[in-house]
């Protein structure tokens, strides 16, 4: 008897190119996924993969079966979506977010997902935007929330709200009265996030358009380190305004008004356009709806 587990094994091996990646995707051992393919081959009495090749390449019959497998999996997911109770859906939902998201509304997002889909296994990953993008590209994540800096037809991007950043420093470090020109700001040590960060990349491009160079910079890929260095008076940095408003109110940080001012950073939720089976549509939709920065970041 053919099972959906066997069909899923065939689909993901074909999609990811090898047995090892498919086994990781389905959270199972490589020997177990090989056994499922062997069972399919015994059922149809044909070879589904050309094992003389390094990568898992489908035979002609394997490709034909894959077309039917895609249709069956799509119909199965539609059936689960329309008929089954949400509580019986058991899925892995691999969510990637940046550090700012993790420090603010990620707990509320995870709780909302758990309330709506108690059986969904949520696997959060907190990393730089560039690393999250690469993991989505290689199908190691289902959905990522990053600054909207990547334009790629392979991904579906849902625009979210934006974050207002401000130049900040320890009191007394920049004694000039506001507004401060970018050229004068460039005379100080500037703490940046670097181009591996979506926000850092956007601001690097923005400064370049204004022909402003920052000759003394310290790059940090960790937001908390960046905040700590700014509090210590090491330099000037761009930081999320609402998130750190309590430090400004206490006088631990000074918000600097510049001319021109920093542009807001628009965020987006991205998922692969070709992934219909590994990500339940309702879970993804709820995740996008929960990606609301209004309470914590604006």
Q: Can you give the pTM of this predicted structure?
A: 0.72
- Give the span between the Cα atoms of 295 and 293, in whole angstroms: 6
What does the pLDDT read at residue 71?
84
Q: Which of 64, 83, 102 is the last residue of a domain?
A: 83
What does the pLDDT read at residue 202?
93
What does the pLDDT read at residue 120?
78
Q: Which of 36, 56, 83 is the last residue of a domain?
A: 83
Q: Which of 83, 118, 148 is the last residue of a domain?
A: 83
Q: Is residue 254 part of a domain?
A: yes
Q: Is residue 192 part of a domain?
A: yes
CATH number at residue 11: 1.10.10.10
What does the pLDDT read at residue 1?
75
Mean pLDDT, 10 residues at a time, the chain of 298 residues:
86 86 86 89 86 79 87 77 59 87 85 77 91 92 89 84 92 86 91 91 93 92 93 95 92 93 91 63 58 44
CATH number at residue 101: 3.40.190.10
């Amino acid at each position: 008897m053919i099972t959906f587990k066997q069909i899923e094994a065939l689909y993901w091996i074909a999609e990811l190119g090898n047995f090892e990646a498919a086994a990781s995707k389905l959270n199972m051992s490589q020997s177990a996924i090989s056994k499922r393919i062997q069972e399919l081959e015994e059922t149809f009495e044909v070879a589904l993969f050309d094992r003389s090749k390094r990568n898992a390449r489908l035979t002609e019959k394997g490709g034909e079966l894959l077309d039917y497998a895609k249709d069956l999996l799509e119909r199965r997911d539609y059936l689960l979506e329309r008929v089954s109770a949400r509580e019986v859906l058991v899925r892995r939902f691999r969510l990637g977010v940046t550090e700012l998201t993790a420090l603010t509304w990620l707990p509320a997002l995870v709780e909302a997902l758990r309330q709506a889909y108690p059986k969904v296994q949520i696997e959060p990953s907190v990393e730089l935007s560039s690393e999250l993008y690469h993991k989505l590209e290689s199908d190691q994540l289902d959905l990522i929330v990053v600054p909207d800096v990547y334009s790629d037809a392979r991904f579906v991007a849902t625009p979210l709200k934006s974050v207002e950043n401000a130049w900040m420093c320890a009191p007394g470090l920049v004694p000039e009265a506001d507004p401060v020109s970018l050229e004068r700001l460039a005379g100080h040590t500037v703490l940046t996030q670097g181009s591996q960060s979506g926000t850092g990349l956007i601001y690097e491009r923005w400064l370049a358009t204004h022909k402003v160079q920052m000759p003394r910079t310290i790059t940090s890929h960790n937001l908390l380190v960046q905040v700590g260095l700014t509090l210590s008076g090491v330099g000037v940095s761009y930081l999320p305004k609402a998130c750190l408003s309590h430090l400004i109110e206490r006088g631990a940080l000074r918000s600097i008004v510049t001319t021109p001012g920093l542009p807001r950073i628009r965020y987006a939720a991205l998922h692969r356009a070709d992934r219909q089976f590994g990500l339940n549509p309702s879970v993804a939709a709820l995740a996008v709806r929960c990606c609301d920065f209004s309470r914590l970041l604006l």
